[in-house]
Amino acid sequence: MQPLENDGVREQGVSGKVDGMREARADAVVDPPMPLFSAAQDPAAVTPPALASSALFAVTLMASASAFAAPPASAKPSFDCAKAASAVEKAICGNDGLARADAAVGRAYERLRKSLDAQAASGLREDQRWFIGIRDATYDNATTANRTQSLKALLDDRARTLSQIRAQPAAGWVGSWRNLAGGIDVVDDGAGRLKVEANAAHPLDGRWLCDASGSGRSAGAALTVQVEGGERSSLKLTREGAALRVQALDASGKALLGPDYCGHNGSLEGVYFAVPPGSD
């Protein structure tokens, strides 16, 4: 699957990327100023009017400053809001809930990237660039009333998905593998063959769907799966460190575009990551 181009991935920063999920609010309660003197005081001891007026002004000024003091710093996303350029980045910076959700994505991404081998980490960056493009399109395509809710749901789901990925899966192909668009499940039938079920959908709006199944035997560093159906196509699975690379091939072993098991412009190609069985 070809990721959307967006080299603006700040590794979603992803440097704090998400580290700040803090919020504190405190409304200042200002008591009315106490009288500077009482009517029962000795007139000789009464503060001169000019001095009393200055003192009253000072008390009022301090009370006003307390009442209108700036609130504590807002939650911080995974990127520098001073450099926010796109509409979605500005929206994230302007909403504490979105900022915290973006920060969670950044933390999960950075933690995973650091724990993966070089090949798998490269695949993760590829998948994250795709996600950033989907994130921006989700915000742009949503109605004004639903933008915050749609973006928050997408960010929460991404953080959850990244946290599920296994950095050190077992060798071979057996297991559950996922990326932004879908997943591939590989099981051993006990007779020397590996059965594969693969499903995917365009992550923005499901404009295309893919559904393929088949079986095959491993040969060296690759597993070639003959896809069931009339096209005589195959899926070539290879390990790239902790990740799984999938390629679609035609009957002659050449790259296949527009396979019949996918809708228009759909594809199962791309990098997938190991997740626990049963993960969404």
Condensed to tens digits (0 to 9), the pLDDT of residues 40-69 reads 334 343 344 443 444 444 434 344 443 333
Q: What is the pLDDT of residues 90-131, one digit of tens each?
A: 999 999 999 999 999 999 999 999 999 999 999 999 999 999
Judge whether 205 lies within some domain. yes
| Whether residues 157 and 179 fall in one domain | no
Q: Which domain holds residue 234?
A: 175-275
- On whether both 181 and 249 belong to a single domain, the answer is yes
- The SS3 of residue 137 is helix
Q: Considering only residues 33 and 246, tell me which one the structure prediction assigns the higher pLDDT.
A: 246
Lowest mean pLDDT among 17-31, 147-161, 162-176: 17-31
Q: Is there a single domain that holds both residue 154 and residue 182?
A: no
**Residue that terminates a domain, selected from 131, 164, 197:** 164
Is residue 256 within 8 A of residue 273, CB to CB? The reply is: no
Mean of all residue pLDDT scores within the chain: 81
**Number of structural domains in the chain:** 2
Same structural domain for residues 197 and 269?
Answer: yes
- 200, part of any domain: yes
Q: Are 135 and 211 members of one domain?
A: no
Question: How buried is 211 (Cβ within 10 angstroms: 0-12 exposed, 13-18 middle, 19+ buried)?
Answer: middle
Q: What is the pLDDT of residue 219?
A: 85
Domain identity same for 193 and 213: yes
Q: Are residues 188 and 147 in the same domain?
A: no
Q: Which amino acid is at 159?
A: A
Same domain, 181 and 159: no
For residue 155, CA distances in Å to 77, 124, 136, 167, 237 come to 11, 16, 11, 21, 29
Least confident stretch, 40-44, 155-159, 199-203, 210-214: 40-44
Residue 122 lies in a domain: yes
